[in-house]
Structure 1
Amino acid sequence: MALSQIMCLDDSYINLCTNESKPDFFYSEDQRLALETLINDGQERFEEYVKTNSIRPFLSELELVQLNRSVELYTCNGDSDAAELSLRYWPERSDYSLPDLDIGWPTSTSRTHIKEIIRKMIVQAQKVIAIVMDLFTDLDIFKDLLDVSFKHKVAVYIMLESAGVPHFLKMCEKAKLRVRSIRGIEFFTHTSKKVCGSQSQKFMFVDGDKAVSGSYSFTWTASKLDRNIITVLSGQAMDAFDKLFKDMYVMSNAVNLHKINLDTEPKPEPAFQTAPVLLPSATVALKLINPKYALVCSNHTPSKKDTAKIESFKQMKACQRFH
């Protein structure tokens, strides 16, 4: 159970406002309801629900197919309200009692979610991020990479298994990244034929001094449904990841992101604001009051007394110039 889930069970816990842009973002009620729609009503209704509720598409085409194929009918033995199980809060049904490890076992009540670890490593990167992955369709991680690439000028290299490239390209928008594809070991025959394995290695190499490796893929289903384990490494082991990535980079093929059909983003309409009324300064106010400047103000009609003063002032100036 993730730490963010454990904290939500505490009655005294104040749930801080978070969103998809933050690494500790884990649960989305919108996504849960969309997934319920997919499982119960199919992909077409799911897409309608996502569009109607302005939910960012979080499942790739591959994940949609896999989820539809894996749907099973759940029956709860002896439970009369089994149909309402999906509406119940998960700890009531999903918690299991711990096994009786009578000779001792360390107490651990929470853990940090793998995706949170990945995202924090990305947002904290300062120099370079090198990724080797089989599937990459997670929009949250992709946006994190775009942010560090554009805003913090971190170099980002992504190497994907060849079969996963089309799914990645469907997710892509405008990006300044280096993306390449790679396959497994090739076996050639004397008859000019070959077979090729798949790229099973998955790791992320950050700033030359940190790496995370394991079974975790950068997908929504890996984050929410699959069981995974990762190892976070530092120290001398980084030399091996450094060399491995460079060797694989030489053997990989470039993926041209410029050939992707990109939809132009709509320009936001300008927000019209009422201009504030500026109060006249003391100097301007003095000029408006003084008869000498009264004719400057178009809305002011001078009185006979003011007109006489102005004519007298003009005559005095004329006499001074004459003498």
Structure 2
Amino acid sequence: MSPFRHLGKIQKRLEDVKNQWVRPARADFSNHESARLATDALLDGGFEAYGRALSQEGEVDFLSSEEVQYIRAQAREPPCALDAPGGAEAGPQGLDACSLQSGTYFPVASEVSEPAPMLAWAAAEKPYLKDKSSATVYFQTDKHNNIRDLVRRCISRTSQVLVILMDEFTDVEIFCDILEAANKRGVCVCVLLDRGGVRLFQEMCDKVRVCDSHLKNVSVRSVAGVVYCAKSGRKFAGQIREKFLISDWRVVLCGSY
């Protein structure tokens, strides 16, 4: 008889769903400890350490090659890896990972607090609180409601506040619509970009010769996804893969454009 082989959560479920005679189990949404250990190993020791952790945990390779490359490229050293004032005896100034219990769920523990909202915008009148809400779905195949034209029309109708979140912003024509709203109509504009997309946005501004003086009423900020922190302190930030637009607190556009 072969010895018992430990199976990770994903590996066990894969074998269960492939076997038509096994009764389906209730969905398990608990923390995936094997995945955490393997991800920590990838951050701390590279791809070989990641493979060893998967083998020890009896787990499948759950990360794509692109995800592995991204995590390795974005990995950052813990605070203790920096030279602390006063020499090595001073110790780390940040989070002491060794003092935390082993049961701590680090992806949640590593989340940073959200930035404080702009006070002027928070105090602005929000008419949507009094209106009845509704939702409309548009499809890219609908030639009478082109998604890009819907975005541009929404920007042209904005009179107070415009918020745009994009993973990558390189559309010069929509950028012109935003500048017109901000500089000609006095609309307060906030553009949120994924941290990895800032370079492309800056490249667009340089090409069309837009400088800070043209962005007096436009706030451009970069945001990162959820931060994953290994127990060693090494960490990486995820990516923002969302797109939405908020106009005058009344209209929200969200989609794949």
Establish whether TM, by shorter chain, passes 0.5. Answer: no
Larger Rg: 1
Structure with more relative contact order (C-alpha pairs < 8 Å, separation 6 or more): 2
Report the TM-score, using the length of structure 2 for normalisation: 0.41
Report the TM-score, using the length of structure 1 for normalisation: 0.33
